[in-house]
Amino acid sequence: MRIICITGGIGSGKSTVAKIIQTLGYPVYYSDEKAKQMYFLTDVKNQIIQLLGKDAYLNDKQINKNYIASKIFSDES
């Protein structure tokens, strides 16, 4: 079995290529979707809240992307 990885920048057509490959009958693993699901695993969610605070989640089904980005990419030096 061969494994092919599709990479590229935002808006470069990765999802389009993946959908074409899938319609040809090949299995496709969507890592973005799996990563989004992981935010809501109990252990992961608890660790994120411990690290970044409760504001990291808007509700039980949404993360607060802007808040998380501001915490991760802030320059505290």
DSSP string, 3-60: -------TTSSHHHHHHHHHHTT-----HHHHHHHHTTSHHHHHHHHHHH-GGGEEET
Q: What is the pLDDT of residue 77?
A: 62
Query: Is residue 51 located within the same domain as residue 67?
Result: yes
CB 28 within 8 A of CB 15: no
Q: What is the pLDDT of residue 25?
A: 94
Query: Is residue 62 located within the same domain as residue 43?
Result: yes
Query: Is residue 44 located within the same domain as residue 75?
Result: yes
The tally of domains found in the chain comes to 2
Query: Is residue 13 located within the same domain as residue 44?
Result: no
What are 18-71's pLDDT values in tens digits?
999 999 999 999 888 898 999 999 999 999 999 999 999 999 899 999 999 999
Query: Is residue 21 located within the same domain as residue 50?
Result: no
C-alpha–C-alpha distance, residues 75 and 77, integer Å:
6
Residue-number span of the structural domain to which 12 is assigned:
1-31
Query: Is residue 27 located within the same domain as residue 44?
Result: no
Q: Quick one: average pLDDT of 4-30? A: 93
